[in-house]
């Protein structure tokens, strides 16, 4: 490097401090809980209170309500996708059932977030379509494995099963166990049966 060269080496972005990472996770967890309970009327101040952080901390991580909603939506989908991979060692039928059980709390939060994304000035539809594709990609191996094991009928696609389960999960119910039961009843309809 010459004495007249004033350029500086490009530095990698600094990793977030541990307390900042924890605060971010607390905010997202509180947001998921609050949106599921209070719907679109959820106030950011309430999310900050439940997370145990100041509103300034929330805004440092998520400068707008839309930024928080987008990140929470993405995070919920990623968590559901990761949970599919964790079921690889389960029996095919059990793995499929257990993954779709996890749709019930996911749908409760998703309904509110999806409405917020659609109503935002820069529509969140592309994000929603990407997330749906990710969910179907994560769930398809579970369905195919169950079909190959001969325990699920072969004339259904993962998109159809997601649609069935999501439709049931949207049914108003005070007891989540009731929705879980309805999901199991619907999934039982997918079981392979010998003709005749």
Give 48-77 pLDDT, tens digit per residue: 999 999 999 999 999 988 889 889 988 988
| pLDDT at position 126 | 79
Q: How confident is the model at residue 7, as a pLDDT?
A: 47
Write down the pLDDT at residue 144: 96
List the chain residues with pLDDT less than 50. 1-9, 196
- Contact indicator for 71, 63 with CB cutoff of 8 Å: no
Residues 6+ apart with CB under 8 A from 102: 80, 83
pLDDT at 8: 47
Q: What is the pLDDT of residue 172?
A: 77
Domains along the chain?
A: 18-63 (1.10.10.60), 64-196 (1.10.357.10)
Which pLDDT does position 143 carry in this prediction?
96
Global confidence as pTM: 0.76
- Write the DSSP assignment of 107-170 as a string of letters: HHHHHHHHHHHHHSSS--HHHHHHHHHHHHHHHHHHHHHHHHTTSB-SS--HHHHHHHHHHHHT
* Distance in angstroms (rounded) separating the CA atoms of residues 93 and 133: 22
């Amino acid at each position: 490097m010459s004495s007249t060269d004033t350029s500086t080496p490009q530095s990698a972005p600094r990793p977030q401090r541990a307390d900042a990472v924890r605060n971010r996770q607390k905010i997202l967890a509180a947001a998921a809980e609050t949106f599921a309970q209070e719907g679109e009327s959820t106030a950011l101040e309430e999310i900050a209170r439940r997370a145990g952080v100041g509103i300034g901390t929330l805004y440092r991580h998520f400068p707008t309500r839309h930024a928080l909603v987008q990140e929470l939506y993405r995070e919920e989908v990623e968590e559901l996708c990761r949970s599919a991979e964790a079921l690889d060692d389960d029996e095919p039928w059990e793995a499929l059932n257990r993954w779709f059980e996890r749709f019930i709390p996911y749908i409760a939060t998703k309904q509110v977030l999806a409405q917020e994304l659609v109503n935002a000035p820069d529509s969140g539809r592309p994000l929603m379509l990407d997330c749906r594709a990710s969910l179907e990609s994560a769930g398809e191996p579970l369905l195919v494995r169950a079909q190959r094991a001969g325990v699920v009928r072969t004339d259904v696609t993962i998109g159809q099963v997601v649609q069935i389960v999501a439709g049931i999960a949207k049914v108003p119910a005070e007891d989540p166990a009731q929705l879980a039961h309805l999901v199991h009843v619907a999934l039982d309809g997918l079981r392979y049966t010998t003709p005749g």
